[in-house]
Amino acid sequence: MNIAIIGLGLIGGSLALDLRANGLAHHLIGVDAHPEHGEIALAEGLVDEVASLEEACTIADLVILAVPVNAILKLFPQVLDYLGPDAVAVDMGSTKAHIAEAIAAHPRRKQAVIAHPMAGTEFSGPKAAVNNLFQGKVAIICDQAHSSPHAIRRVERLFKSLFMRLIYMDAEAHDLHAAYVSHVSHITSFVLALTVLEKEKSEANIFNLASGGFASTVRLAKSSPQMWREVYEQNDQNLVDVLDSYLEKMQAFRDHIARGEFDQTHQLMEAANAIGRILEGGQIRAPR
Amino acid sequence: MNIAIIGLGLIGGSLALDLRANGLAHHLIGVDAHPEHGEIALAEGLVDEVASLEEACTIADLVILAVPVNAILKLFPQVLDYLGPDAVAVDMGSTKAHIAEAIAAHPRRKQAVIAHPMAGTEFSGPKAAVNNLFQGKVAIICDQAHSSPHAIRRVERLFKSLFMRLIYMDAEAHDLHAAYVSHVSHITSFVLALTVLEKEKSEANIFNLASGGFASTVRLAKSSPQMWREVYEQNDQNLVDVLDSYLEKMQAFRDHIARGEFDQTHQLMEAANAIGRILEGGQIRAPR
């Protein structure tokens, strides 16, 4: 397949590495608004050529949009305008409802698939690309009935070639669940980093005292502000709901400590421990 | 050296593994209030014998207290009562000011060292013991002047044998910094877990949608409630201060999203990104 990847960052670059390695891509075309990303992607052998959006979409069998979610809103309709009659386009955005709206009325809507591979790291840009980023992770395909069976099959083939597990839900449900389980954990990391940076004036103290626990909790605070501001913008209502719940629980936890109610903190922590049992419920295996 | 380890959990068990491997311990004596922990420690070869507190302290050259911090308050004076004239006792607790008070007036105070190795995992009990848990991490020795030079040297030898980096501060300062950099990140994890568990009724959704980012942010929520309630109890004032700052910042972040002020969220995230630069400031190396 000729595969065009729009956006040669962490996700686009990592896709390029895997799709070349697993043979799904016979020819990889990169598109990026930043010329230096295109140069790095060529130099590192991520893609075979760098082209304009129109050129790439015209010759590709599969176009993958791997840009921040506001850029997807703008580019997805253009990609569909340029797409050949048998070609398929799919986006990799972390939010789905606004993206679904942006292409809802497009005459080629059936050639489009809306999806979210739940994979990433705290790094960004083409140099952050790594092999096997997607292996064993979940890919969500949204609003399946709005795409043609041909388009869904091609995107399923894409994700299965990456050893991802497929699940299906509608775009609104996706955004709600993603707020709970993915988006809010980035915000708690950013806020923890801000708190420690303000309170600890000494960089040496942060560096010396940060145990492994702190480093893993705050890891996501290194994430791209540009990517995440757009996620907040597109998922604002769900996020405000979850953050209100989080704030209420944090206030209660703080108040228990302030009042010396340590039995209550114990009970809350025992309830929280359940998350371990759920997360360890089983490793997701690569499909056969 | 004959080394007695009081508390055969994650820390005590991991110490036993390393001190046998590196040759510092010629004979390892375990003490644990739970008989089944002693049995596991013997069966897994962590210690050579299990003894009572008095027996262990009488024959040991070095006694290591690796129990939760409230138990340290109670046991540290007893350990000093039993200690031989050349022997040294050191605790591994996550808080230091109350422990310093508990032994301040003891006639054998000079034989005691107050310390905190900044290492751990979210698991507990003797089966959680792992090799090389301490390597490359920081060990803090507090109130150095209250211990004899002989006692300090013996504890420095202990931590250096584990390839830890030593830093020195007073007990009050330790508790303040530990609240910022270690204790509060556990609370943010517990609260995140509680929020997601309440909002996501479906265990399958949490399991399926939890990406690597969520799993690492919430990892500490698996930690021991008993250990942590005692840390909160002994470091309550510092924790309330840091949590107030955290709550204020989280409220501001939530309000920016609710008001559509995404430029402001962008600025906050850029400021938070500085934590990455500080944490990556350099790997702590094993001392020569």
For residues B185 and B154, state if they share a domain. Answer: no
Q: Which residue has the higher pLDDT, B126 or A207?
A: B126
Summarize pLDDT for A139-183 with one digit per residue, the tens: 999 999 999 999 999 999 999 999 999 999 999 999 998 898 889
Q: Which residue of A has its CA nearest to B211?
A: A118
Is A199 inside any structural domain?
Answer: yes
Summarize pLDDT for A10-67 with one digit per residue, the tens: 999 999 999 999 999 999 999 999 999 999 999 999 999 999 999 999 999 999 999 9
**Do the beta carbons of residue A56 and residue A26 sit within 8 Å?**
no
Indicate which of B269, B270, B278, B285 best probes the interface with A, i.e. most A CBs within 10 Å of its own CB: B269
Is B288 inside any structural domain?
Answer: no
Structural domain boundaries, residue A49 = 2-170
Contact between chains at B222 and A191 (C-beta distance less than 8 A):
no
Contact between chains at A251 and B247 (C-beta distance less than 8 A):
yes
Which of A146, A170, A194 is the endpoint of a domain?
A: A170
For residues B123 and B200, state if they share a domain. Answer: no
Of B221, B240, B269, the CB nearest to A225: B269
pLDDT greater than 60 at residue A285:
no
Contact between chains at A206 and B278 (C-beta distance less than 8 A):
yes
Please give the pLDDT value at position B107: 98
**Do the beta carbons of residue B130 and residue B17 sit within 8 Å?**
yes
Summarize pLDDT for A235-255 with one digit per residue, the tens: 999 999 999 999 999 999 999
Quote the minimal CA–CA distance from A54 to chain B in Å: 31
Contact between chains at B190 and A253 (C-beta distance less than 8 A):
yes
Contact between chains at A195 and B245 (C-beta distance less than 8 A):
yes
pLDDT greater than 90 at residue A196:
no
For residues A32 and A165, state if they share a domain. Answer: yes
Contact between chains at A207 and B281 (C-beta distance less than 8 A):
yes
Give the whole-angstrom CA distance, residue A217 versus residue B184.
10
For residues B161 and B197, state if they share a domain. Answer: no
For residues B76 and B94, state if they share a domain. Answer: yes
Please give the pLDDT value at position A278: 82
Q: What is the mean pLDDT of residues A230-234?
A: 95
Please give the pLDDT value at position A286: 31
Nearest C-alpha neighbor of A243 from the set A193, A172, A186, A173: A186
H or E stretch including B48?
none
Q: Which residue of A has its CA nearest to B194?
A: A272
The CATH number assigned to the domain holding A249 equals: 1.10.3660.10
Through-space distance between the first and last CA atoms of chain A, rounded to whole angstroms: 21
Is B45 inside any structural domain?
Answer: yes
Which of A110, A141, A170 is the endpoint of a domain?
A: A170
Quote the minimal CA–CA distance from A214 to chain B in Å: 6
Nearest C-alpha neighbor of B139 from the set B122, B110, B114, B121: B114
Contact between chains at A190 and B274 (C-beta distance less than 8 A):
no
The pair of structure tokens assigned to B41 is: 């420690």
Please give the pLDDT value at position B211: 66
Contact between chains at A198 and B122 (C-beta distance less than 8 A):
no
pLDDT grade for B287, boundaries at 50, 70 and 90? very low
Of A232, A244, A253, the CB nearest to B187: A253
Residues of chain B with pLDDT > 90, as a percent, come to: 77
SS3 B227: helix
pLDDT greater than 70 at residue A288:
no
Q: How many CB pairs under 8 A join A and B?
A: 311
Residues of chain A with pLDDT > 70, as a percent, come to: 97
Nearest C-alpha neighbor of B56 from the set B24, B34, B23, B78: B78
For residues A145 and A8, state if they share a domain. Answer: yes
Please give the pLDDT value at position B272: 93
For residues A243 and A271, state if they share a domain. Answer: yes
In chain A, helix, strand, coil percent, each to 5? Answer: 60, 10, 30
Q: Which residue of B has its CA nearest to A122?
A: B213
A253 neighbourhood in chain B, CB within 8 Å: 187, 190-191, 243
Give the whole-angstrom CA distance, residue B32 versus residue B24.
21
In the block, which residue shows the tokens 């002989």?
B150
Nearest C-alpha neighbor of B27 from the set B55, B152, B10, B71: B55
Contact between chains at A269 and B182 (C-beta distance less than 8 A):
no
For residues B55 and B89, state if they share a domain. Answer: yes
Is B73 inside any structural domain?
Answer: yes
Contact between chains at A246 and B209 (C-beta distance less than 8 A):
no
pLDDT greater than 50 at residue A284:
no
Q: What is the mean pLDDT of residues A227-236?
A: 94
Q: Which of A76-85, A94-103, A201-210, B192-201 has the lowest mean pLDDT?
A: A201-210
A196 neighbourhood in chain B, CB within 8 Å: 180-181, 184, 275
pLDDT greater than 60 at residue B288:
no
Q: A93's torsion region: left (phi>0), alpha (psi -120 to 50) or beta?
A: beta
**Do the beta carbons of residue B24 and residue B158 sit within 8 Å?**
yes
Nearest C-alpha neighbor of B25 from the set B54, B40, B45, B55: B45
Give the whole-angstrom CA distance, residue A195 versus residue A189.
10
The CATH number assigned to the domain holding A38 equals: 3.40.50.720
A164 neighbourhood in chain B, CB within 8 Å: none
Is B286 inside any structural domain?
Answer: no
Quote the minimal CA–CA distance from B215 to chain A in Å: 7
Please give the pLDDT value at position A131: 95
pLDDT greater than 50 at residue B286:
no
pTM of the model: 0.86
Task: Tell how strand A112-117 and strand A138-142 pair up.
Answer: antiparallel
Contact between chains at A254 and B240 (C-beta distance less than 8 A):
yes
For residues B271 and B147, state if they share a domain. Answer: no
pLDDT greater than 90 at residue A218:
no
Which of B170, B186, B216 is the endpoint of a domain?
A: B170
A268 neighbourhood in chain B, CB within 8 Å: 190, 194
Quote the minimal CA–CA distance from B142 to chain A in Å: 14
Residue A45 DSSP label: T
Of A189, A207, A273, the CB nearest to B217: A189
pLDDT greater than 80 at residue A206:
no
For residues A23 and A142, state if they share a domain. Answer: yes
Is B238 inside any structural domain?
Answer: yes
A125 neighbourhood in chain B, CB within 8 Å: none
For residues A25 and A145, state if they share a domain. Answer: yes
Contact between chains at A186 and B247 (C-beta distance less than 8 A):
no
Quote the minimal CA–CA distance from B230 to chain A in Å: 8
Please give the pLDDT value at position B149: 98
Is A284 inside any structural domain?
Answer: no
A168 neighbourhood in chain B, CB within 8 Å: none
Q: What is the mean pLDDT of residues A253-274?
A: 96
Structure ipTM? 0.87
Q: Which residue of B has its CA nearest to A270?
A: B225
For residues B44 and B166, state if they share a domain. Answer: yes
Tally of domains in chain A: 2
Is B129 inside any structural domain?
Answer: yes
Give the whole-angstrom CA distance, residue B5 versus residue B12.
6
Of B181, B213, B222, the CB nearest to A120: B213
A198 neighbourhood in chain B, CB within 8 Å: 245, 249
